[in-house]
Amino acid sequence: MFTPKLVAIRRLAVVAILAWFACGQFVSAKSYATAPTVVWLASSLPDSTRIEISRIVETDSTAQMKLNTRGSCDVKGKYIATQKVGICQIELRLAATPKFAAITSSAVIQVKKKTELTVLAAASLANSFEAIGKVFMAKYLNVSVKFNFAGSATLATQIQQGAPVDIVAMADTSNIEKVVA
């Protein structure tokens, strides 16, 4: 009378009705994968250097990373190796996981000569400038920042005597006027 397929459907319907009465509602499980977060940390790299990929890009995905590069850089294991000054195009591909959807993200990063900035700043600004310097050097991996902290009068004297300086931050205007004029 009843085909096996029809019997199976009736049984499934009975089980669903019993589950609904037992729980008071339908029980269903749905899983929606979300896009993982990808943050490109660096905007410039030094030439002729190997830098860990974790200093360039980070993600909350546990999927295996696949990197493709074009231009002045190559992937070497866990490192990005730069050859010469130019542009490095990096494409990151993350496979899908139970938690995250597959994603592709890319960035264009400048490969530049290594540069050093010399900062003369008032001693009262030391903590702030060191924190700013760390953030700056993390984003611009080709730049190192050298700090010289002292009193404003001492800094003004150093500048007047020819000390190398790229950035000056003094605590008062009278000493800054001595070196600007």
pLDDT digits (tens, 9 = 90+) for 5-45: 555 566 655 555 555 555 555 445 455 678 899 999 999 99
Q: Mind listing the pLDDT tens digit for each residue in 75-94?
A: 999 999 998 999 999 999 99
What local confidence, expressed as pLDDT, does residue 34 receive? 86
CA distance 106 to 58: 12
What local confidence, expressed as pLDDT, does residue 24 receive? 53
Domain ranges of the chain: 38-112, 115-180
Q: DSSP E strands: which ranges in 22-142?
A: 38-40, 44-46, 50-52, 57-59, 65-71, 73-76, 79-82, 86-94, 103-112, 115-122
* Direct distance between the N- and C-terminal alpha carbons of the chain, in angstroms, rounded to an integer: 105
CATH code for residues 38-112: 2.60.40.1080
CA distance 108 to 110: 7
What local confidence, expressed as pLDDT, does residue 15 receive? 53
Which one is the CATH code of 115-180: 3.40.718.10, 3.40.50.720, 3.30.1330.180, 3.40.190.10?
Answer: 3.40.190.10
* Residue 128 backbone dihedrals phi, psi, to 5 degrees: -65, -45
**β-bridge pairing 103-112 and 44-46:** parallel
Mean of the per-residue pLDDT values for the chain?
Answer: 86
pLDDT band at 165 (very low <50, low <70, confident <90, very high): very high
**Which is more confident, 181 or 169?**
169
Q: Is 61 exposed, middle or buried, given 0-12, 13-18 or 19+ CB atoms closer than 10 A?
A: buried
